[in-house]
Amino acid sequence: MPDPVMSRGYQSGSEGSDHHYNDDEPERNFSSFAEYIDHSKHDPEKVVEVSTNGRYAKLNSVLGKGAYKIVYKGIDREEGYEVAWNCFQTTKQEYAELSQEVEILKRVRHPNIINFHDCWYSNTEFIFITELMTSGTLREYIRKLQSPNLKVIKRWCRQILKGLIYLHSYDPPIIHRDIKCDNIFINGAHGEVKIGDMGTAKMKIGKKYTVIGTPEFMAPEMYEEKGYNEKVDIYAFGMCLLEMVTGDYPYNECKNAAQIYKKVTQGLKPECLSRIIDPEVLSLIQHCLAPEQERYSAQQAIEDPFLGVEPEVVVLSTNEAKNHLTLQVVFKGMDKLSVKFEFNADTDTAEEVVNEMIEEQVLPQKYQRFITHDINRILRELAGTGDKKDSAVGIPSSPMLHHQNGVNGGLNGGLNGLSNAISHLSLDTNNTASLSSASTGSPQSHARTHSLSRTMSRPDWNGEDELPFKEYSLDTPIEDLVNDTAMAYHRGPDKAHEWLVKLKNQDIMTIGDLKDLQDSDWAGFDLTVFASRALRNRLFGKNSARPHSLSRTSSGATTDEGM
């Protein structure tokens, strides 16, 4: 086997930061990877070449340059938008061997993969047209941020892995072979990342043997004659995560590719790995860098505890006095799943709100401290004391190097009093639970004051605004109403029994006992606000004069009927 260090296979497809090493190279400087392009001597908008079919035009504007590749700005004349015109040095025979992969890549369409539009061979160059990302690479973004927030890193990782799951799910799987932060592009305005440089991708038909990629990100099996599979992309992803967390290029301590090769083949990990002290981050990286047979698949990686569903509380709106807030718990990693609710800073506490969510089974217990802390953080920020409070509880300024799986106790601040009742809940077709608040009566009401519904289920009724309404005779046993309501709102027998006991404890035996009750009477049943709303909606229906309604909307937006 030829010395892999000298192999031409050490190609990098980065649009602007390729590596190309010589053994006699004394040292490497990672501070600047891209060759400086002087645009002052030419017109960057001048068309210098046109594709064979006339659709794409190459402009006189170089976006990036590497050992074997140059990327120009281009124009799609049919659609009128900018594209990336990639020129990759290769032979006609190598291009012919790529024909099958090229046809597959043209059909690859995923939100986290840069679109591959067209390709052809011309004058020793493999030219391919791809989607243009204008916010730069993930590596450039990391250098700009210096210490990215751990939540941001998780968001990036999930998107990268979703793209890899898509590629690896093809039959046969598509192996990218050059995953690195330089080849992952970002839309800074939306936090969207996409895997780029698909020119090195290869279909897995049996084992692959070609030595190609960037040494720091190449799995040990890529250096061997035994061949490799799609798990080399997971190894590279692990190195990407290492760079995201530490800000250091893997094996930055090495002076040349020969030293990297020696460390990789001996199973020695990059020195910067020793700086990771967050056990969940470290565990995921180690699973990605493990030997091939033990290494995670892309699906296993995205299911790792570090990348599990993570809630974040955001402020949707607030009044001028900043004491009435509309908050939303967004679950990162689960598309279109959120819980929206009103919060009165004068009467509500984060602890009671979160406890109610847990009691109503909207949130798992494990998120209690996390969401409580987030709500209290928002209250402190609105009060202008956020920095002092965060410092007092020891929130790390560089969270990726610290364990952040749970927030310490002592964050149970907030304001005293009971909250105003939540009187409206909507469950949309995208599994989004929305809540808004209104008063149920006097502040002295001792009923529970926050109500939420399961976010992963929705009532089984038809019609955008139709409520689960049913006519009951006055002598109908109260059990009928309770059981019908529990079934309509996907509550189990235990929950129905709990409601029934509370009603019967107040001598409510038939529907007639409920018909003429006022809000203050309902407040005395010690039902949760959700249970109270659901029972009354089932009993009186949407169009009644009663002031509370529970309805479903198809868009997830909160409606105000019956408020």
The tokens for 89 are: 């040095």
Contact 67, 12 (CB under 8 A): yes
Residue 391 CB partners (closer than 8 Å, separation 6+): none
* 3-state helix/strand/coil string of 469-518: CCCCCCCCEHHHHHHHHHHHCCCCHHHHHHHHHHHHCCCCCEHHHCCCCC
Q: Rounded to an integer, what distance in angstroms lies between the CA atom of residue 457 and that of residue 488? A: 11
> How many other C-beta atoms lie within 10 A of the C-beta of residue 49?
15
Q: Rounded to an integer, what distance in angstroms lies between the CA atom of residue 562 and that of residue 543? A: 7
Q: Rounded to an integer, what distance in angstroms lies between the CA atom of residue 87 and that of residue 83? A: 13
What values do phi and psi take at 131, rounded to 5? -60, 145
Q: Is 38 a catalytic residue?
A: no
The tokens for 304 are: 């790792």
Residue 374 CB partners (closer than 8 Å, separation 6+): 311, 312, 313
Q: Rounded to an integer, what distance in angstroms lies between the CA atom of residue 160 and that of residue 191? A: 12
Q: Rounded to an integer, what distance in angstroms lies between the CA atom of residue 563 and that of residue 557? A: 15
Q: Rounded to an integer, what distance in angstroms lies between the CA atom of residue 98 and that of residue 203? A: 9
Short-list 370, 546, 382, CA closest to 467: 546
What values do phi and psi take at 185, rounded to 5? -110, 155
Q: Rounded to an integer, what distance in angstroms lies between the CA atom of residue 161 and that of residue 301? A: 7
* 3-state helix/strand/coil string of 157-184: HHHHHHHHHHHHCCCCCEECCCCCHHHE
Q: Rounded to an integer, what distance in angstroms lies between the CA atom of residue 116 and that of residue 200? A: 12
Instruction: Choose, from 18, 76, 178, 348, the residue flagged as catalytic.
Output: 178
How many helices and strands in the chain, by DSSP H and E? 15, 15
Q: Rounded to an integer, what distance in angstroms lies between the CA atom of residue 39 and that of residue 155? A: 35
> How many other C-beta atoms lie within 10 A of the C-beta of residue 73?
19
What one-character DSSP code corresponds to residue 418? P
What values do phi and psi take at 229, rounded to 5? -130, -165
User: Residue 436 carries which side chain, given as an amino acid letter?
Assistant: S
What one-character DSSP code corresponds to residue 414? -
The tokens for 248 are: 């250091």
Cα-based distances in Å from 79 to 44, 57, 124: 20, 12, 28
3-state secondary structure of 282: helix
Q: Rounded to an integer, what distance in angstroms lies between the CA atom of residue 286 and that of residue 238? A: 8
Task: Report the catalytic residues.
Answer: 178
